[in-house]
Structure 1
Amino acid sequence: MTTPPALLVAGIGTRDERHAAAFHAFVEELAIRHPDLPVAGGLAGPGGHPLSDAVTRLVGEGVNRFAVVPMTLIPAAPPRDGVAAALAQEAERHADASFTSARPLGPHPTLLSVLERRLDEALGNRPRLPSDRAETTVLLVGDGSPLPAANAEVHRAARLMWEGRGFAGVEVAFASLAAPDVASGLDRCARLGARRVVVLPYFLFAGGALERVRQQAEGWGLAHPEVEVVPADVIGPAKELADLVMDRYEEVADTAGRGGCADEAHAFAHPDAHADVR
């Protein structure tokens, strides 16, 4: 039987210790759930537990084929695609190893379902009438990027979040690097007539960015008592997220088994690739 390629979970580098800890706890849980599969994870860029350490450990255990799942909700383009750049470096460091990368995780329907659950949790998980949702506006808050195409993916997620779910509207804001910011996003919701706004972070894990978003939303709410501002939680280490990571792994495992390369991985990660919403 052919040994399956290793699952390499690649996060974006961060010095946010809470975010990094949540990422590594998630990777450890994946490894426990799949004991028959080599699993490791690391961060591409600043922060502890770099991706290179994860690759070196697995190579030392005899692994030479990697199926890489980027823990990102939106695609990034060169030169800011830290995961692709890190994989290219690893391909140079380990000439006998092959790396094939999957697509970003969002906006996948299962993640939208988790976001919808986070909304219901924020609103109290009590039985509701359709009219309750019709009176609720959602402010979906993305990380923010200097790349317009990356920010457009958050708008796409917002549109998909709005379709068929009965909310009054789903608006977009960004935690940093892009407009509108949280306060401006809430201003827009109020101008559109919102009386209840759920601030929904489009983040995988909690950390400093989530705290900043909550502080900004709370400050705006204190200045605008006529609007109810309700904070929601991040996607977090939900079972659906773990299942989606494995789906992405399986999509590229066959290619990795045939000896995929870092250049091939970059094609998967490019914003123009795989435009469908799976």
Structure 2
Amino acid sequence: MPGPVLLVIAHGSRDPRHAATVHALVERARSLRPGLRVETGFLDFNAPSVPRVLERLAAEGVRDVVALPLLLTRAFHAKADIPAVLRKAPSRLSIHQADVLGPSPLLLSALERRLYEAGLDASHKRSTGLVLASAGSTDPEAIAVIADVARELRHTGWCAVRPAFASASLPRTEDAVRALRDEGCERVAVAPYVIAPGRLPDRIAAGAREADVLADVLGPAPELAELLLERYEEARAPARASLAFTG
């Protein structure tokens, strides 16, 4: 029997780069598991919307769905928006909400991949300060996760690691870059801890003007595609799923 449909839920953006990146990531995950049906839905701005995808799946006779938030932390969208949308799904669907992507060692590997692709010399890692730049959140749990990720990265050989935020929280990227210079790091690299381009990643890039290296967003990194499938497998067992919505 085929497994549940994987529905990847992205936030959406007016920036066309956002949807293009989401689709590229989903396509990479699909290529890793040819027998798995993978759908994409957006909460806002882009089509198809999550309700529209769920209605289509129900009309096709699909019963089981794993809904995977394309999010790095459990902030408002994972705790409120997505569960609210899933509760309104057609009653014939049995939906399990998977956990968010982070934290995960695969994300750290993807971050380093992007840094090296941007030109960072691996031999300079110990003399390089790293800014872990996220979109930002008003949710204390999400902020704490970013701080934990920064501490974990610090133990992988960087000169120093500082978190930064494009909105809602401080410090900003440019302030973290200057702080690392003041700490004596020979060079500074900025790693956007975000999945797709958009307004806030652009703000991170603007704040990285004084950095030596600016990595690209995580995007369709192979580690992220692998992580989508890992979260899917975790959520397939109802006892391990974060939330279940059954009609």
Could you tell me which residue of structure 2 aligns to residue 203 of structure 1?
A: 194
The one-letter code sitting in structure 2 at the alignment partner of 1:230 is: V
Structure 1 CA distance for aligned equivalents of residues 68 and 50 of structure 2:
12
Greater gyration radius: 1
- Secondary structure of 2:208 counterpart: helix
Q: How many residues align?
A: 244
Q: Deviations over 1:103-147 (max 9, x none)?
A: 11112001111111222222345xx54xx2221000000110111
Could you tell me which residue of structure 1 aligns to residue 6 of structure 2?
A: 7
Could you tell me which residue of structure 1 aligns to residue 80 of structure 2?
A: 81
Q: Is 2:61 aligned against 1:70?
A: no
Could you tell me which residue of structure 2 aligns to residue 231 of structure 1?
A: 214
CA contact (8 A) 1:40 1:58 kept: no
Could you tell me which residue of structure 2 aligns to residue 114 of structure 1?
A: 110
Could you tell me which residue of structure 2 aligns to residue 53 of structure 1?
A: 52
The one-letter code sitting in structure 2 at the alignment partner of 1:143 is: A
CA contact (8 A) 1:137 1:196 kept: yes
Gaps of 5+ in 2: none
Distance 1:86 1:22, change over 3 A: same
CA contact (8 A) 1:66 1:99 kept: yes
Structure 1 CA distance for aligned equivalents of residues 200 and 64 of structure 2:
34
Please give the residue correspondences for 1:168-207 in structure 2 after superposition, counting only pairs within 5 Å: 168-207=159-198
The one-letter code sitting in structure 1 at the alignment partner of 2:43 is: A
- Secondary structure of 1:66 counterpart: strand
Could you tell me which residue of structure 2 aligns to residue 140 of structure 1?
A: 132
Distance 1:186 1:207, change over 3 A: same
Structure 2 CA distance for aligned equivalents of residues 121 and 31 of structure 1:
24
- Secondary structure of 1:261 counterpart: strand
Could you tell me which residue of structure 2 aligns to residue 97 of structure 1?
A: 93
CA contact (8 A) 2:115 2:213 kept: no
Structure 2 CA distance for aligned equivalents of residues 78 and 133 of structure 1:
34
Could you tell me which residue of structure 2 aligns to residue 224 of structure 1?
A: none
Q: RMSD of the TM alignment (CA)?
A: 2.3
Distance 1:110 1:28, change over 3 A: closer
Distance 1:156 1:67, change over 3 A: same
Once the two structures are TM-superposed, the CA of residue 4 in structure 1 deviates from its matched residue by 1.6
Gaps of 5+ in 1: 222-227, 264-278
CA contact (8 A) 2:22 2:219 kept: no
Q: Is 2:238 aligned against 1:255?
A: yes
Candidates 193, 208, 214, aligned match of 1:217: 208
Moved over 6 A (4+): none
- Secondary structure of 1:190 counterpart: helix
Distance 1:123 1:33, change over 3 A: closer
Structure 2 CA distance for aligned equivalents of residues 116 and 144 of structure 1:
20
Structure 2 CA distance for aligned equivalents of residues 115 and 107 of structure 1:
12
Q: Is 2:138 aligned against 1:153?
A: no
Structure 1 CA distance for aligned equivalents of residues 126 and 45 of structure 2:
43
The one-letter code sitting in structure 1 at the alignment partner of 2:230 is: D
Distance 1:106 1:80, change over 3 A: closer
